C-alpha cells in the first residue's frame, strides 16, 4: 500500500499559532499529565489514552499535547494527538484536514515503531476515506489494519478492539456499496467480538449498523428491533451521537410506515442534540427529514424552513446525497403549492446533484429515495391536475368544445414529444451498448490473448516456473480488471493506471522487456478520487507498441504522465519514442498482413458520447514529435479529461 507523504512540520507550524492562547488556557493539571507522559516515554496506547481520555476531545489541549510531544521527539504522543485532531475534523466533515492529520499520525507511529498507534492510524484513515466516498482506499486501509492486528500472536485488549474496529469498518464499506447481506455478516462478527470484550458502545454501534442495512432492504420491523436494541445498550454508554442517529433512523422508518406524527415527534426530540453535536451531515439530515415529514403532513411553511436549513448546510459542506434529497423534497413542496417554475428549478438541482454522485453507494441511495417517494409524487400530481381541471372547467364552461380540442392537442403534443424522447434515449442507449461491446472486444483482442498465453507457455517449456507464475498472475488479474471495468461507465484513475501497467508488463514479454514504461502522477492529483471513462488508455498504448515501437531499433520507452490541465481538467499524456505516424503508415502498407486497429476510433467515439451525456468536453489530440534534425522521434497523445 502506498501512503501519501505529509510533512508534519507544516501542520505543526499552523498549530503553533495557538501557542500563546494555549499557554493561557491549558489546565495546569493537564500540563502535569503531559509532562509525566513525555518523561516516562509511555508507548502503550491504553496508557496514553487513560491519561488523555478526559481531554482528547478538547482541540486546544490536544494541540498543546502535540506541540510538547513534537518538541521532545515523543513520537508516540505525537501520533496520538494527531489522530485525536483528525477525529475532530472528521466529525465536522472537514475530510481533507482529517486525512492530513491521520497521515501525519501514521508517520509518527512509524517513527515511534509503535504497532498499536500504527493500527489506530490505519483504521482512522479507513473511516475518513469511507466518509469521503474513497471506497477502495477505505477498504485498503481497513484490510491493512486488520492484517497487521491479526499478525500479533498474543493481542492485548486494544489490539483485539482494533481487529473489531477494522471488521466493523469493512462491514460499513460493504454497506455503502449496497452489499447489505455481506455487511450484516461483518457486523454480526463484530457483535461477537464486542460481546467478548464487554464493549457496550461497540454493541450499540453494530446494532445501529445492522438496523440501517435492514431498513435499506425494506425489512422495517427488523430495522426497528435493531435500532431499539442499539438504544438499550446506549443507555449504559450515554452517547448523544448514537442516540441521535438511532432515533433519526427510527423516525425514518416511521415515515415509511406512514406514521407521520410519531416520526415528527422523534425528530423534534433529537433536534437540539443534533444541533449541539455540530456534525453537518447528521444535522442537515435531521433538518431535511423534518421538512419531508412536515410536507407529508401538509405543514408546508414549517417544512420549507427546515428544508432551507438542510439545503444551506448541504451546500456549505458539499454533502451530495443530502443535496439530492433536499432538492427533491423542495420540488415536492413547491409542486404541492402550485409553483411549477420553482418546482422545476429544484428538480433540476436534484438531478444535477444526482449526476455528481459517482459511486454505487450514492446512486443506490438516491434511487431508493426516489422510488420510495414516486408513488406519493404521482398521487400529488394527479390531485393537483384534477384541481386545475375543475378550475378550468368553471372558467370555460361556455366554451367546452374549445377546451376539449385544446386538451386533446396538448395530450397529443405531449405524447409525440414523449415518443420522440424515448426514441432518442433508446437510440443513445443502443449506441452506448454497441460502443461498450466493441471496446471490450478490442481490449480482449484474440491476438493479444493468444500471444500472451504463448509467452507464458514458453516460460513453462524453458522451465522458468517463477516467471511463468508471475506473468500468469498478472495476465489473470488483467483479464479480471478488464471484465470488471467493462460493466462500469467510470472508474477511478488509479484503477485505470493499474490496468494499463498490467497490460504493458505482459506485452513487454514479447519485446524481451526492452521497453521502459513509466507512470507519473503530478502532486495535487489523487488518482483514487479522479474518475475517468473506463478502459480508454489501453488502445493508445497498444497503438504505440505495434505501430510506433515494434519497428524501432534501439532504446524504446513509453511514458504515461497525469498532470493538471486547465481549471476543472486533467491531462493524460502518452508519449513514445517510436518511428512516428508517417513511418508507421509506410511500414503498414508494406506488410502483407495488416494489423487493423479500431480501438482508438472506438475510444474517440466513446469520449464524444460522454461529452453529450455529461455536458463536458472530453478531447483527444495527437502530436508528432521530431528531433533537432527534423526526424520523427515519436508520438504524443494528450487526453483532456474533466474532473467535475
End residue of a domain, out of 243, 270, 297: 270
The CATH number of whichever domain residue 306 belongs to comes to 1.25.40
Flag the least confident range among 163-177, 313-327, 380-394, 429-443: 429-443
Say whether both 135 and 195 belong to one domain.
no
**Which range, 36-40, 309-313, 541-545, has the best average confidence (pLDDT)?**
309-313
Say whether both 461 and 564 belong to one domain.
yes
- 520 pLDDT tier (thresholds 50, 70, 90): very high
- 616 pLDDT tier (thresholds 50, 70, 90): low
- 6 pLDDT tier (thresholds 50, 70, 90): very low
Residue 255 to residue 290: CA distance in whole angstroms: 10
CA 108 from chain centre, in angstroms, equals: 27
- What average pLDDT does the segment 187-198 reach? 85
In this model, does residue 439 exceed pLDDT 60?
no
Q: Is residue 345 part of a domain?
A: yes
Q: CB pairs under 8 A, 24+ apart, for 32-40?
A: 34/64, 34/65, 34/68, 34/69, 34/77, 35/68, 37/74, 37/77, 38/68, 38/69, 38/72, 38/74, 38/77
Say whether both 256 and 139 belong to one domain.
no
Say whether both 259 and 286 belong to one domain.
no
- 312 pLDDT tier (thresholds 50, 70, 90): very high
- 26 pLDDT tier (thresholds 50, 70, 90): low
End residue of a domain, out of 116, 151, 186: 151
Which pLDDT tens digit goes with each residue over 360-411?
Answer: 444 433 333 333 334 344 555 556 666 777 776 777 676 777 767 777 888 8
In this model, does residue 226 exceed pLDDT 60?
yes
Residue 167 to residue 143: CA distance in whole angstroms: 8
Say whether both 258 and 294 belong to one domain.
no
Identify the pLDDT of residue 32.
86
Identify the pLDDT of residue 1.
36
- 426 pLDDT tier (thresholds 50, 70, 90): low
- What average pLDDT does the segment 493-505 reach? 88
**Residue 303 in 3-state DSSP?**
helix
Which pLDDT tens digit goes with each residue over 249-304?
Answer: 999 899 888 899 998 998 999 899 888 888 888 899 899 989 999 988 899 999 89
- ∠ at Cα 73 (72, 79), nearest 5°? 120
- ∠ at Cα 281 (278, 283), nearest 5°? 55
Q: Is residue 84 part of a domain?
A: yes
Q: Is residue 417 part of a domain?
A: no
Q: Is residue 264 part of a domain?
A: yes
User: Residue 240 is part of which domain span?
Assistant: 167-270
Say whether both 487 and 623 belong to one domain.
yes
- What average pLDDT does the segment 426-435 reach? 57
Identify the pLDDT of residue 155.
85
Q: Is residue 500 part of a domain?
A: yes
Q: Is residue 213 part of a domain?
A: yes
Identify the pLDDT of residue 642.
84
The CB density around residue 398, as the number of other CB atoms within 10 Å, is: 7
Identify the pLDDT of residue 86.
92
Say whether both 305 and 339 belong to one domain.
yes
Which pLDDT tens digit goes with each residue over 145-159?
Answer: 989 988 988 888 888
Region at 469 (left for phi over 0; alpha for psi -120 to 50; beta for the rest): alpha
Identify the pLDDT of residue 443.
46
Identify the pLDDT of residue 122.
94
Segment (H or E) for 634: strand 632-642
Say whether both 209 and 306 belong to one domain.
no
Identify the pLDDT of residue 360.
43
Say whether both 266 and 282 belong to one domain.
no
**Residue 571 in 3-state DSSP?**
strand
Say whether both 136 and 192 belong to one domain.
no
Say whether both 538 and 490 belong to one domain.
yes
Total number of domains constituting the chain: 4
The CATH number of whichever domain residue 238 belongs to comes to 1.25.40.10
End residue of a domain, out of 200, 235, 270: 270
Residue 292 to residue 347: CA distance in whole angstroms: 15
- What average pLDDT does the segment 323-351 reach? 89
**Residue 538 in 3-state DSSP?**
helix
Q: Is residue 158 part of a domain?
A: no
- 16 pLDDT tier (thresholds 50, 70, 90): very low
DSSP codes of every residue in 472-535: HHHHHHHHHHHHHHHT-SEEEHHHHHHHHHHHHHHHHHHTTT-EEEEEEE-TT--TTT-EEETT
Q: Is residue 634 part of a domain?
A: yes
Identify the pLDDT of residue 592.
44
Say whether both 292 and 246 belong to one domain.
no
Amino acid at each position: 500500500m502506498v501512503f501519501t507523504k505529509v510533512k508534519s512540520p507544516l501542520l505543526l507550524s499552523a498549530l503553533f499559532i495557538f501557542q500563546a492562547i494555549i499557554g493561557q488556557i491549558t489546565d495546569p493539571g493537564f500540563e502535569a499529565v503531559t509532562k509525566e507522559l513525555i518523561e516516562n516515554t509511555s508507548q502503550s496506547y491504553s496508557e496514553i489514552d487513560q491519561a488523555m481520555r478526559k481531554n482528547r476531545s478538547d482541540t486546544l489541549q490536544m494541540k498543546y499535547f502535540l506541540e510538547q510531544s513534537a518538541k521532545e521527539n515523543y513520537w508516540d504522543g505525537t501520533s496520538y494527538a494527531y489522530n485525536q485532531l483528525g477525529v475532530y475534523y472528521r466529525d465536522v466533515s472537514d475530510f481533507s484536514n482529517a486525512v492530513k492529520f491521520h497521515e501525519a499520525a501514521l508517520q509518527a507511529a512509524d517513527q515511534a515503531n509503535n504497532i498499536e498507534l500504527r493500527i489506530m492510524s490505519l483504521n482512522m484513515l479507513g473511516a475518513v476515506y469511507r466518509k469521503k466516498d474513497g471506497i477502495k482506499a477505505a477498504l485498503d486501509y481497513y484490510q491493512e489494519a486488520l492484517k497487521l492486528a491479526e499478525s500479533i500472536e498474543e493481542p492485548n485488549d486494544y489490539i483485539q478492539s482494533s481487529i473489531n474496529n477494522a471488521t466493523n469498518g469493512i462491514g460499513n464499506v460493504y454497506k455503502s456499496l449496497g452489499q447489505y447481506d455481506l455487511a450484516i455478516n461483518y457486523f454480526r462478527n463484530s457483535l461477537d467480538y464486542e460481546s467478548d470484550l464487554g464493549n457496550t458502545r461497540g454493541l450499540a454501534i453494530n446494532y445501529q449498523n445492522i438496523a440501517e442495512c435492514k431498513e435499506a432492504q425494506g425489512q422495517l420491523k427488523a430495522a426497528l428491533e435493531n435500532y431499539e436494541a442499539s438504544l438499550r445498550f446506549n443507555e449504559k454508554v450515554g452517547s448523544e451521537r448514537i442516540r441521535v442517529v438511532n432515533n433519526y433512523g427510527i423516525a425514518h422508518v416511521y415515515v415509511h410506515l406512514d406514521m407521520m406524527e410519531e416520526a415528527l415527534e422523534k425528530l423534534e426530540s433529537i433536534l437540539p442534540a443534533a444541533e449541539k453535536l455540530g456534525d453537518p451531515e447528521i444535522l442537515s439530515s435531521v433538518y431535511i427529514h423534518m421538512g419531508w415529514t412536515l410536507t407529508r403532513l401538509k405543514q408546508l411553511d414549517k417544512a420549507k424552513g427546515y428544508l432551507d436549513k438542510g439545503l444551506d448546510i448541504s451546500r456549505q459542506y458539499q454533502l451530495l446525497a443530502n443535496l439530492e434529497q433536499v432538492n427533491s423534497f423542495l420540488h415536492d413542496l413547491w409542486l404541492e403549492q402550485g409553483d411549477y417554475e420553482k418546482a422545476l428549478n429544484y428538480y433540476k438541482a436534484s438531478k444535477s446533484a444526482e449526476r455528481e454522485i459517482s459511486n454505487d453507494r450514492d446512486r443506490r441511495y438516491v434511487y431508493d429515495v426516489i422510488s420510495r417517494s414516486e408513488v406519493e409524487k404521482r398521487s400529488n400530481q394527479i390531485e393537483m391536475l384534477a384541481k386545475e381541471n375543475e378550475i378550468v372547467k368553471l372558467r370555460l364552461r361556455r366554451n367546452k368544445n374549445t377546451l376539449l380540442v385544446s386538451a386533446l392537442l396538448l395530450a397529443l403534443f405531449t405524447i409525440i414529444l414523449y415518443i420522440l424522447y424515448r426514441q432518442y434515449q433508446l437510440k443513445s442507449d443502443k449506441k452506448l451498448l454497441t460502443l461498450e461491446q466493441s471496446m471490450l472486444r478490442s481490449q480482449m483482442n484474440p491476438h493479444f490473448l493468444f500471444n500472451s498465453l504463448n509467452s507464458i507457455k514458453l516460460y513453462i517449456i524453458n522451465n522458468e516456473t517463477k516467471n511463468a507464475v508471475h506473468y500468469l498472475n498478472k495476465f489473470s488479474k488483467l483479464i479480471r480488471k478488464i471484465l470488471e471495468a467493462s460493466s462500469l461507465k467510470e472508474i477511478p484513475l488509479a484503477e485505470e493506471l493499474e490496468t494499463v501497467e498490467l497490460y504493458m508488463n505482459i506485452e513487454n514479454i514479447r519485446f524481451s522487456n526492452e521497453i521502459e514504461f513509466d507512470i507519473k502522477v503530478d502532486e495535487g492529483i489523487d488518482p483514487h478520487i479522479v474518475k475517468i471513462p473506463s478502459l480508454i488508455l489501453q488502445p493508445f498504448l497498444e497503438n504505440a507498441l505495434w505501430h510506433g515501437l515494434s519497428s524501432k531499433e534501439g532504446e524504446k520507452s513509453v511514458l504515461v504522465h497525469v498532470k493538471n490541465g486547465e481549471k476543472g481538467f486533467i491531462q493524460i499524456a502518452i508519449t513514445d519514442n517510436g518511428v512516428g505516424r508517417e513511418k508507421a503508415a509506410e511500414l503498414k502498407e508494406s506488410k502483407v498482413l495488416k494489423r487493423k486497429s479500431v480501438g482508438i476510433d472506438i475510444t474517440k467515439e466513446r469520449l464524444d458520447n460522454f461529452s453529450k451525456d455529461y455536458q463536458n468536453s472530453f478531447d483527444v489530440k495527437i502530436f508528432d514529435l521530431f528531433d533537432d534534425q527534423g526526424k520523427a522521434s515519436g508520438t504524443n497523445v494528450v487526453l483532456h479529461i474533466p474532473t467535475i
